[in-house]
A and B are shown apart, each in its own frame.
Chain A
Amino acid sequence: MDWFYVKGILILSGINLLAVLGLSLLTGFTGLFSFGHAGFMAIGAYVTASMSIKFGLPFIPSLMIGAMGAALVSLFIGRWTLNLKGDYFCIATLGFGEAIRLILDNVQYFGGARGWPGIPLYTNLTNVLILNIIGVVILVNLIRSRHGRNMKAIREEELASQIIGINVFKYKMTSLAISAAYAGVAGGLLAHYTGFIQPKMFQLIKSTELTIIVIFGGLGSISGSIIGAIVLTSLPEILRAFAKWRLVIYGMAVIFIMITRPQGLMGGYEITYGNIKKLVSRIFSIFNTKKTLGGDKQ
């Protein structure tokens, strides 16, 4: 394995991670399942690519505009669908994701179903890494504030949230818009990494993959989403030696985790300095009690 290959996997993990971080806010912290996030990625990808090709804007501003585009569309969608309860919202997003793909299939301006080649390759490991760090910091800061807590409250008990004065609709919209913006940036990065985009890249299976990563990592855990994104993006590559069996193993790995840890890898816990210290002291205390028990026997 040469560095170029590893770097490629890392960049793809990073791109997936950004989309997953956004979805984690929506699904893990606000409790709304979405199967249409590939649609927001597609909007981000196409808007960013057209900004940098047709309008000649630099990379970062194009990405920002792509993110805003995805967020704006999400606000429009959310306005109509967020009043729906649980499962119905999920189905609405599924329809939305497919609709975006089919629309792009038929817009000849962006190359239609044939795809859009010749996008400049701006994405590299450095800017993916920097954007990911910024993404994580923003998300952590948001969740550890009254706004993040309000979103968690909505996830836990919607009626009680309203009674304590939380504007549930507004917070769902905010959460959806932020998560769409993350997906938009991820889409923009993907476009400028592969140099070629095609509506087929943003099929339902992409949305499903993102949701699987969030659940695999553990709902309501940012560290879980990070681990999930890296593991599940690189797993098919690591398994390449098994040729046609790799996707079977991938599927089995996901099923295995879901059976043994239904709450996901991290299950709502975060890897923080404080939690690590607590864990270490707990392991030590078990170790010490064992020793004293041994001492009593003598």
Chain B
Amino acid sequence: MNILEIKNVTKKFGGLTAVGNVDFNVEKDSIYGLIGPNGAGKTTIFNLITGIYQVTEGEILFEKQRITKLQPYQIADIGITRTFQNIRLFKKLSTYENILTACHYNSKYTILDAIIRNRKFKVGERKLHSQVNELLEIMGLADRKDVIAGNLPYGLQRRLEIARALALRPKLLLLDEPAAGMNPEETIKLMELIKENRDRFNLTVLVIEHHMDLIMGICDKIAVLNFGRKLAEGNAQEIQTNPVVIEAYLGEEEVTLA
């Protein structure tokens, strides 16, 4: 079953077509990779899915529902969340507070409940705090829980951003270059973590990445973009041997040897 369907989506900024007539489907519980050279429109597709940009043409379906007209927070409500290429944490809040904030809508007490501190508030807060502790354990951040997010090492900031996204209990998680700036060892660890969490939370993951080891290692299916168009789609094997893809990445093969 397809959880996400991108149907002939086009996004134009003035005269520039950032994404042109792209379509692909993401199957439930799979890990789908999105690759392509810089400026190919990968992040734009993420921004379109999460409602930060409005599509110019085409439509995006999530669990068969049209989501193209929704606000970003509504998209989060129906179960799609993401991380950012340039990390966007709540920098002055602690690791714990970052995750706690993201848990917010797993508990439904109102402002009035909070002001009079009734039972509904207390039960709700307790639930949120236990969720945070559980996530801190899973993501290996428990010993850093009181550190201010902006002071965490880079790799852990990325990890915290994923933890914050998971706090929403999303159905579809979009990761925008989660391994950027990581060394090979850290990348492998991250790969394991993504796989683990996919199984634990029944997630579907859509990932943009330049580390080919990561993409080829975990993705069930990969789409290649170039200049806003979809070049190819298939599993790791197919993509690696596809001549069009090789051309986009390495340039045209020289036919005649001088």
Q: Interface extent on A, as a size class?
A: 20 to 34
Q: Is the CB of A145 within 8 A of B114?
A: yes
Q: Which residues of B contact A147 (CB under 8 A)?
A: 111, 114
* A166 in contact (CB, < 8 A): yes
Chain A residues lying within 8 Å of B82, measured Cβ to Cβ, are: 163
Task: Give the one of A141, A148, A165, A268 with max B CB within 10 A.
Answer: A165
Complex: how many Å from CA A156 to CA B165? Answer: 16
Are the CB atoms of B100 and A149 closer together than 8 Å? yes
Query: How does the 8 Å CB contact mask read for B85-111 relative to A, with 1 for contact and 0 for none?
Result: 000111111000100111111010101
B107 pairs with A141, CB closer than 8 A: no
Contacts of B115 in A (CB 8 A): 138, 141-142
- Which segment of B13-21, B72-80, B205-213 sits at the interface? B72-80
* Known A160-B84, A164-B102; contact A152-B50, beta-carbon cutoff 8 A: no
**B111 pairs with A149, CB closer than 8 A:** no
Task: Give the total of B residues in contact with A, Cβ under 8 Å.
Answer: 38
Are B109 and A146 in contact, CB atoms less than 8 angstroms apart? yes
Beyond A149-B100, A152-B101, whether A164 also contacts B114 by CB under 8 A is no
Closest chain A residue to B174 by CB distance?
A: A163
Contact B50 A174 (CB under 8 A): no
Measured in the bound complex, the distance between the Cα atoms of B187 and A47 in whole Å is 63
Q: Is B158 an interface residue (CB 8 A)?
A: no
Asked if A162 is an interface residue, CB under 8 A from chain B, the answer is yes
- B105 lies within 8 A of A165 (CB): yes
User: Complex formed: what's the CA distance from A294 to B72 in Å?
Assistant: 60
**Pick the contact of A156 from B71, B93, B102, B109 — CB < 8 Å?**
B93
The answer to whether A159 touches B104, judged by C-beta atoms less than 8 angstroms apart, is no
Proximity string of chain A (165-182) to chain B, C-beta cutoff 8 Å, 1 when within and 0 when not:
111100000100000000
CA distance A138 to B113 in the complex (A): 11
Minimal beta-carbon separation of A54 from chain B (angstroms): 31
List A contacts of B102 (CB < 8 A): 164
Give complex CA distance A92, B125 in Å. 37
Most chain B CB neighbours (cut-off 10 Å) among A145, A164, A167, A174 = A164
B67 to chain A, nearest CB (A): 14
Q: How far apart are the CA atoms of A157 and B116 in the complex, in Å?
A: 29
- Asked whether, in the complex, the Cβ of A146 is within 8 Å of the Cβ of B89, the reply is no
Q: Does A164 lie within 8 Å of B81, measured CB to CB?
A: yes
- Residue contact B52 to A166, C-beta cutoff 8 Å: no
Which residues of chain B are within 8 angstroms of A145 by Cβ–Cβ distance?
109, 111, 114, 121, 125
Take A163-B50, A163-B81, A163-B82 as given contacts and tell me if A153 and B109 are in contact as well, using a CB distance cutoff of 8 Å.
no
CB–CB B114/A141 < 8 A: yes
B125 touches A163 (CB 8 A): no
* A153→B92 contact, CB < 8 A: no
CB distance B114 to A157 under 8 Å?
A: no
Is B179 on the interface with A (CB-CB < 8 A)?
no
Chain A residues whose C-beta falls within 8 Å of the C-beta of B164 in the assembled complex: 164
Interface positions, chain A 105-127, Cβ under 8 Å from B, are: none
In the complex, whether A62 has a CB less than 8 A from a CB of chain B is: no
Q: Which residue of B90, B109, B117 contacts A157 across the interface (Cβ within 8 Å)?
A: B90
Q: How far is the CA of A297 from the CA of B101 in the complex (A)?
A: 50
- Would you call B114 and A165 a contact (CB within 8 A)? no
Q: How far is the CA of A230 from the CA of B114 in the complex (A)?
A: 28
Query: Which one of A150, A157, A164 lies within 8 Å of B168 (CB-CB)?
Result: A164
For B76, B84, B97, B125, which residue has the most chain A Cβ atoms within 10 angstroms? B76
Residues of B contacting A149 with CB < 8 Å?
A: 97, 100-101, 104
Alpha-carbon distance A149/B116, docked complex (angstroms): 17
Chain A residues with CB below 8 A from B167, complex form? 164
CB-based nearest A residue for B88? A160
Tell me which of B81, B104, B124 has the highest count of chain A C-beta atoms within 10 A of its own C-beta.
B104
CB distance from A4 to the nearest CB of B (A): 35
B34 CB-CB contact with A under 8 Å: no
| 7 CB < 8 A contacts A-B | A144-B114, A147-B114, A163-B72, A164-B101, A164-B164, A165-B81, A167-B73
Lowest 3 CB-CB distances: which A-B pairs, in order? Answer: A165-B76, A145-B114, A156-B90
